Amino acid sequence: DLFHEVEDYFAKMDKKQSLAGKKVIVSAAGTREPIDPVRYISNRSSGKMGYAIAEEAAQRGADVVLVSGITNLPAPENVKVIKVESARDMQSNIEQYFPDSDITIMAAAVSDYRVKEVAEQKIKKSDEVMTIELVKNPDILKGLGEKKTDKQFLVGFAAETQNVLEYAQGKLQRKNLDMIVANDVSQAQAGFNVDTNIAKIITRDGQIKQAPLMKKTELAQLIFDIIEEKMNIKA
Amino acid sequence: DLFHEVEDYFAKMDKKQSLAGKKVIVSAAGTREPIDPVRYISNRSSGKMGYAIAEEAAQRGADVVLVSGITNLPAPENVKVIKVESARDMQSNIEQYFPDSDITIMAAAVSDYRVKEVAEQKIKKSDEVMTIELVKNPDILKGLGEKKTDKQFLVGFAAETQNVLEYAQGKLQRKNLDMIVANDVSQAQAGFNVDTNIAKIITRDGQIKQAPLMKKTELAQLIFDIIEEKMNIKA
């Protein structure tokens, strides 16, 4: 309603420019790996979480590049959006901006595998069974973790359906992250294409923050509050 | 602009109710076949062609059921929309309405194959290569062609990247269709997620109508003009 719109408007106006001068990269949405010109493999990521993060960063005054997979979401205000399709497209675009970035948040659901041999023409098959051979895609997040300097803050996501905390802690270590945001996508209110999330935010120092059910826009705020605290950013 | 909006409004008001009393089923958009709770196989159909057909049928006064795969398109006015995910979901919904239908237009891009064993949990893979085994989905259109009576009019689509006409003529025969709409999706203006199409409309009697580049909404009109002529429907 109008009351809340006006309230939101002033909340945005009031927002501290705590990230002014900072360069932020956000990846969002799912990538798509072609099988042939018509068919592809993808995943259920809607992009809502990553878009909310990019928007929040821009509202805090950061210089934001959003490298986005497949979604129909509108571009957030004051954000440079680069649309990509496959994991390798996403990688080359992120790596171009990474050396100069202060904060990189990988919220995209990147395809782990791509099709080994992409057909140039639509595949005509009459066989009762068919096999698709896949090969591993580059691990973008791990690559960034290996390259990052002490001044760069790197955040990953873990969308799991079981053993969420354990898996997320392992991923943070393995990929040299500063923070990981973990959520159980088998829960209806924390899943794909909904506006809410229930997340655990784990930082390099071992802190675990269990966030209650909240809007993805609110979780984006919480993520940056914790990043700013860990990076000792004072508004 | 406003002039064209007013013009469109009166064009719609004026439209003859040539399909009043007719039951029309339209399928649209791509289906999605799960690999696990997160990943899936799909195709690039946007649903624009099927949604335009459903809207045109409703404007001509038909009683329209639109069985829709994955798309963010808004429901057309005065159309009953049933949202489905997989090819088998689509089949069961269409077959429920088919016995009473007068005209059935299958514009959906139905997945030919589904994953043989869908994983209940998100697949964790560290292997360099991976294989997905697929099994054939039911051929919905062929099944309708086998069941249809002489009073029912059945229309298929052929979205190809090569040998379009030849393939479409074979499909019309093989699946016992009354009409097939063929387009070469490798052409930019006839491809996925665009508002235009360049189609060939082939009817059971061997007639081939080459439609020029036109909006998908205009092609929807042309399709019903030909259907009405072939069914001897007089407004």
Counted across chains A and B, CB pairs separated by less than 8 A come out at 97
pTM of the model: 0.84
Of all residues in chain A, the percent with pLDDT exceeding 70 is 97
Instruction: ipTM value, please give it.
Output: 0.83
A163-210 pLDDT, tens digit each: 889 999 999 999 999 999 998 888 888 777 788 888 999 999 999 999
Reported as a single tens digit per residue, the pLDDT across B211-226 is 999 999 999 999 999 9
**Which of A46, A122, A127, A171 would best serve as a mutation to test chain B binding (most B beta carbons within 10 A)?**
A122
For B92-145, the DSSP string reads HHHHHHGGG-SEEEE-SB--SEEESS--SSPPP---SEEEEEEEEPP-HHHHHH
User: Which is nearest to A28 in space by CA: A76, A56, A70, A59?
Assistant: A70
Q: Exposed, middle or buried by CB within 10 Å (0-12, 13-18, 19+), for B120?
A: exposed
Cβ(B205)–Cβ(B81) below 8 Å? no
User: H/E element holding A227?
Assistant: helix A216-230
How close, in Å, is residue B91 to chain A by CA atoms?
A: 18
CA angle B16, B21, B22 (to 5 degrees): 90
CA distances for A148 relative to A136, A223, B142, angstroms: 23, 20, 56
Per-residue model confidence (pLDDT) at position B235 = 57
Q: Are A235 and A226 in contact (CB under 8 A)?
A: no
- In chain A, whose CA is at the least distance from the CA of B132? A132
Mean pLDDT for B125-152 is 93
Is the model's pLDDT at B190 over the cut of 80?
Answer: no
Q: Of A199, A224, A209, A229, nearest to A15 (Cα)?
A: A224
Q: B160 to chain A: which residues are within 8 Å by CB?
A: 122
Q: Is the pLDDT assigned to residue A121 strictly greater than 90?
A: no
The tokens describing B99, both together, are: 């016995």
- B74 vs A: CB within 8 A: no
- Closest CA in chain A for residue B116: A129
CA–CA distance, B98 with A86 (Å, rounded to integer): 39
CA distance B157 to B198: 13
User: What is the rounded average pLDDT of the residues A111-139?
Assistant: 89
Q: Which of B123, B134, B128, B116 is nearest to A114 (CA)?
A: B128
**Chain B environment of A185 (Cβ under 8 Å):** 37-38, 122
Describe the crossing of helices B216-230 and B48-59 by its angle, rounded to 10 degrees: 50
**pLDDT digit string (tens) for B9-43?**
766 666 789 999 999 999 999 999 999 988 999 99
Question: Does residue B40 contact residue A41 with C-beta atoms inside 8 Å?
Answer: yes
**Under an 8 A CB cutoff, do B113 and A125 touch?**
yes
Task: Tell me whether B109 touches chain A (CB under 8 Å).
Answer: yes
The answer to whether A40 contacts B39, with C-beta atoms less than 8 Å apart, is: no
